[in-house]
Chains A and B, each alone.
Chain A
Amino acid sequence: MNQLFQFLLRQRIFLLFVVLELVNLWGIFKYNDYQHTFYFNTTNRWAASILAMGEEVKSYHQLREVNQDLALENARLHAEIFKLNSQKQPESKIPYFLGEGMLQRYQPLACKVIDQSTQMSQNYLTIDKGTRDGIAPGMAVISSTGIVGKVMSCTSDLSLIVSVLHTGNNVSAKIKSTGELGYIKWGGIQPEVANLQDVSKYKKVVKGDTIVTSDYNAVFPPNIPIGIVAKVGLEKDETFHDIKVMLLTHFSTLKYVYVIKNKLAAQQAILEQAKPKPE
């Protein structure tokens, strides 16, 4: 303590100088309008940039929750869209009544992808919800941009999904503008491209057409986007177009998917079982 006082005593001139200059600086920035404004502008700018930086870091850490929220909201919006789409009256002269069961037919459920592959010739995804959340094999899985695949098997908390990027997983599809039917089959190589098959060569297909799921699809709800026609080719002596489709779902960066519960699937299955089998 004594040493401190001695130090202060030795430096008293310099301390006096510092104190006087601080008083002056205070006066300059307090009472001069221009300097006052300058001080406030500068400090505000610094403060604002620092706060903005902090906010950015914070929001980065919140991205996880934000994604979760957005996925849930998307699921809700999907449900809304399915309902509205089914409410939309088809253009027919016949009076048409939509049953309550059909209105509530599709219920999406947001799930997180916890494992996936795109490089194999048969690709699968694993998601973080299972039978406990009402998922059953055979349900459709879509992403926010397009179709993903269908549920193959479930445990109580996890489910395995057969991706569209699976050579054995065909999806009934149609060309949105003309309504021509076909089916999507993955070629087995590029995770961005699939083939649309069974479209007769006498039908008109244009590059850029949108491909959506068809109305007769047992798995997917109708009119879910699949992809865009990227290339239309026609081999000689072939009956069908050779159509390459750019898939709308980005499989390699897939984080959230929506499992669509089809409430009428069981009824449809029972009915279709009753079909007489060809001998």
Chain B
Amino acid sequence: MSSSIQWKWYGMLLLTVVLQILFLRDLAIGNIAFCFLYLWALLKAPLQIPIGLFLIGSFVLGWTVDIFYNTHGMHAFACVCIAMVRPLIFKVLTPANGYDERSSVSLAEMNALWFFPYLFIMLFLHHVILFLMEAMDASLLGISLLRAFFSALVGMLVFGLLELFSQNK
């Protein structure tokens, strides 16, 4: 992993968080789907990143978003959760020839059959935890799951488009 990619990653991290906080905060599609762009950095973190560092990183990322969303702890809770689950997903989705030492999480290097399930599991898990935390009510379980599902679909669309654009470059 070259340093240029790392710099690009840090840049995107900053950009997605700022975008999230300033613009996507108030975006709701049909009051049922939300876009959580800031998860980009979490999703695209290098495969070999030390898990401890990754947990703390996702914690800080989550709290940062929480501060602006006024939902102290909820995003962080969901982020740390999916950060913990990520290595498990990697293990489950191992491609036939295993992970390359230099491979990164991207549509270009992994095929679509690996990338989109990964994306969907991560996003859906994050959204379910987040919305249930927010609702805190069993009677809102249905609407929370619905929101999580559609938000995950929107997330897949957005992150898939981002991947396509970075492929072209």
Contact = CB atoms under 8 A, between A and B. Distances in A.
Interface of A: 12-13, 16-17, 20-21, 23-28, 30-32, 34-35, 38
Contacts, number: 53
B76 A13 contact: no
A17 B136 contact: no
B121 interface: no
B52 A16 contact: yes
21 contacts: A13-B51, A16-B56, A17-B80, A20-B76, A20-B80, A21-B81, A23-B59, A23-B73, A24-B59, A24-B74, A24-B76, A25-B73, A25-B77, A27-B72, A27-B73, A28-B71, A28-B72, A28-B77, A28-B133, A32-B72, A34-B136
B52 A31 contact: no
A73 B164 CA distance: 89
Interface bracket on B:
10 to 19
Interface string B66-101: 100001111011001100100000000000000000
Contact of B55 (A13, A31, A35): A13
A25 B59 CA distance: 12
B62 interface: yes
B71 A32 contact: yes
Interface string B104-137: 0000000000000000000000000000010010
A24 B80 contact: yes
A66 to B, nearest CB: 41
B52 A28 contact: no
Contacts of B74: 24, 28, 32
A20 B56 contact: yes
A20 B55 contact: yes
A211 to B, nearest CB: 60
Contacts of B66: 27
B59 A20 contact: yes
A184 B136 CA distance: 70
A23 B63 CA distance: 11
Contacts of A30: 72
A26 B55 contact: no
A21 B59 CA distance: 9
**Most chain B beta-carbon contacts within 10 A, residue among A12, A23, A26, A28:** A28
A27 B75 CA distance: 11
Contacts of A12: 52
A28 B62 CA distance: 12
Contacts of B133: 28, 35
Contacts of B51: 13
A28 B134 CA distance: 9
A17 B77 CA distance: 10
A38 B136 contact: yes
Interface in B26-78: 51-52, 55-56, 59, 62-63, 66, 71-74, 76-77
Given A24-B80, A38-B136, A17 B55 contact: yes
B91 to A, nearest CB: 14
